[in-house]
Amino acid sequence: MVDFHRFSLANGLRVLVHEDDTTPMAVLNILYDVGARDEEQDKTGFAHLFEHLMFGGSINIPSYDEPLQRVGGENNAFTSNDITNYYITLPAVNLETAFWLESDRMLSLAFSEKSLETQRNVVCEEFKQRYLNQPYGDVWLKLRPLAYKTHPYQWATIGQDLKQIEDAKMEDVKAFFKKHYNPQNAIMVVGGNVKTADVKALAEKWFEPIPGGEKYHRNLPKEPLQTAAQRESVHAEVPLNSIYMAFKMPARLHPEYQAYDLMADVLSQGQSSRLYNSLLKEQQLFSEIHAYITSSIDEGLFVIEGKLVQGVPVGTAEEAIWTELKRMAHQEVSDHELTKVKNKSESIMVFAEMSLLDKAMNLAYYELLGNAEDLNTEIDRYLSVTPQRILQAAKTTFVEEQCSTLYYLTAKDA
């Protein structure tokens, strides 16, 4: 159970406070309701570029890291297709430093050509290292546009291609900041050895003077129902042939979301899971195999990916996956299987409640989804999933016409 207090500032900033006097530390977490899905088709990678730009200094604080290090603090951030999240951890007695730093860059990020050039180079380097020069690195650059045809989930957080980041203009960057990085589009969570009254005073001092900005209303194109199987083959210098199969699954707030999450666990959570047992241990077709979900806020993906044992034909491996998926769609999972994955989910959630930073991030995310209170009842939604609901999810989802399949093959199989 994560307790919290909630208040809003006059400019629209929502603030949640989690008091925990068992630690000398504090966390300040700011979630901005902007991700790669909010970018324009010809200007992708901006949300992620911004994550880097936000550390390039603000007008009154040219170096973001130095003052934080002096008070024993650490910071980081991440961007996804749905959100951008920044966080600071520091001794609670120095909490005001975090308020000073975060409010200044929300109010007045320093837009210098030098900072833009520096961060653009950093992101381009990351693009090359992580996505282009690594075995299987560009899988999501290929799988997303294969699975999504109209929704902006069709590009990865890093962007569609290097050129769009290289061509990012100062006026485009400023417009993106103005549109998304304002109090109305943010949720702040402060947790740790703090008192709500003190946090409120600090929030009013540092954040309330920031203009609220215009409220951004999302109006994204809806992905149509997929009615024809999508396929693509890629040949590259990789050690083993791989197969990736992606199926659309309901959005994060859909009542059946938890059934899909548990279904992925039944298929590949641990060495007694179905895919591991059948395809890796018994038939020895794969050297590794996984099933997982993207957990997207809009319609997401249910993905099966595996690396084949050398010499196994890709068609044989794909057929074996389909056999397991069809079994899932025709026969209820056993109570034993379901109980096992429910227990695992419960322990993961309980463990997340032990970390102050995880609690702050989760409160912000659930508040974005609609209500931070739902964090405390999420486990009940998992525990209430029945074998019938998983069967129905499998029947609806594992349809050949609705599958996007990417073969990632070694150069010698070209």
Structural domain boundaries in the chain: 5-206, 230-413
When pLDDT is averaged across residues 265-290 and rounded to a whole number, the result is 95
In terms of average pLDDT, the best of 61-75, 350-364, 383-397 is 383-397
Distance CA 86, CA 107 (A): 15
- Can you tell me the distance from the alpha carbon of 79 to that of 67, in angstroms, rounded to the nearest whole number? 24
> Same CATH topology for 5-206 and 230-413?
yes
Query: What size, in residues, is the chain?
Result: 414
Report, as an integer, the average pLDDT of 46-53: 89
Question: For strand 403-410 and strand 242-249, is the pairing parallel, antiparallel, or unpaired?
Answer: antiparallel
Main-chain dihedrals φ then ψ at residue 224, nearest 5 degrees = -70, 160
Percent of the residues in the chain that have a pLDDT greater than 70, as a whole number: 100
Query: Could you report the per-residue pLDDT of 23-44, keeping only the tens digit for each?
Result: 999 999 999 999 999 999 999 9
User: Cα(30)–Cα(15) distance, rounded to whole angstroms?
Assistant: 9
Contact 203, 13 (CB under 8 A): yes
Q: What is the pLDDT of residue 26?
A: 98
Look at residue 71 and tell me whether its pLDDT is greater than 90.
Answer: yes
* Per-residue model confidence as pLDDT tens digits over 307-347: 999 999 999 999 999 999 999 999 999 999 999 999 999 99
* Homologous superfamily, domain 230-413: Metalloenzyme, LuxS/M16 peptidase-like (3.30.830.10)
Q: Using the predicted structure, report yes or no on whether residue 362 has a pLDDT greater than 90.
A: yes
- Quick one: pLDDT band at residue 174, thresholds 50, 70, 90? confident
pLDDT for res 55: 84
Whether 58 shows a pLDDT value over 70: the answer reads yes
Average pLDDT of the residues of the chain: 94
Which overall architecture, per CATH, does domain 5-206 show? 2-Layer Sandwich (3.30)
d(CA 351, CA 363): 15
Summarised one tens digit per residue, pLDDT across range 146-173 is 999 999 999 999 999 889 989 988 888 8
